[in-house]
Amino acid sequence: MNMIMETIKLNNIHKAFTLGGETVKALDGVSLAITQGEFIAVMGASGSGKSTLMNIMGCLDQASGGEYFLEGIRVDTMNKNQLADIRNQKIGFVFQGFNLLPRTSALENVELPLLYSRTSRPKMTRDRAVAALEMVGLAHRLDHHPNQLSGGQQQRVAIARALVNDPAIILADEPTGNLDSRTTVDVLSVFQTLNDNGITLILVTHEADVASYAKRIIRMKDGKIQEDRAVEERSFAAVPVSGNPKGKDENQ
């Protein structure tokens, strides 16, 4: 038995799709171990299987073969409702397109995972959502709707939503794909601060620049892990997250 329990442990994960009568092996025997506090960038060309890997790790999809342990619990055999609860309790998602609910305030967006939680007490909901928004430096934007926020701010709301339930991992799928370079650094600095606070992050990107902010890079090709290495020259975002919120407001 390992003394350190892996946050994520994948054993020989397979995933096959049938597209137009043809079987496509999206994942072909992926084994992976991620421990707590890691900051991993998953890279690869489109069709390399990185999105499928993310979906499986995020419990949105189920593998056709292999074993998946999340914080020591086997999840690949779980039913749909159990997976929904796992997503709610243990996983935070950040998407490329932000995926905030329109015409819903930042605070309500962040509260959403708590509303679906079967364990949290309703009284705590607001406090926890406010705390999460403070962590991403948006405490002063609680009642703004997504269309009143810049892209970078929207993504920070999405990050707040991902971490509000205190998840085991945060999965970010091309989180900077829709952002300009300055805002990209901004969002990455948020990620680095969260990681410094001990949150495990997995980030899918095809940009080497973005990947260099992580601690470890996994490169996918044809459904297999082609490369798995530590980042040697790691980039650091200059501005600390909650240091000077006013200076980071890039809009309005």
Q: Which residues bind other proteins (CB under 8 A)?
A: 55, 58, 60-61, 80-81, 84-85, 87-89, 93, 95, 99-101, 103-104, 112-113, 115-117, 122, 161, 165
Residue with smaller CB distance to other proteins, 131 or 239: 131
What is the closest distance, in whole angstroms, from the C-beta atom of residue 163 to other proteins in the complex?
12
Quick one: tokens of 77?
Answer: 């055999």
What is the closest distance, in whole angstroms, from the C-beta atom of residue 60 to other proteins in the complex?
5
What is the closest distance, in whole angstroms, from the C-beta atom of residue 74 to other proteins in the complex?
19
Residue with smaller CB distance to other proteins, 60 or 239: 60
Q: Residue holding tokens 């919120």? A: 245
Residue with smaller CB distance to other proteins, 159 or 217: 159
What is the closest distance, in whole angstroms, from the C-beta atom of residue 122 to other proteins in the complex?
6
Residue 58 vs residues 20, 64, 108, 171: alpha-carbon distances, Å: 26, 15, 23, 7
Residue with smaller CB distance to other proteins, 15 or 219: 15
The DSSP-derived string for 56-77 is: HHTTSS--SEEEEEETTEE-TT
What is the closest distance, in whole angstroms, from the C-beta atom of residue 147 to other proteins in the complex?
13
At a CB cut-off of 8 Å and minimum separation 6, what does 19 contact?
none
Quick one: tokens of 19?
Answer: 């597209």
Residue with smaller CB distance to other proteins, 6 or 108: 108
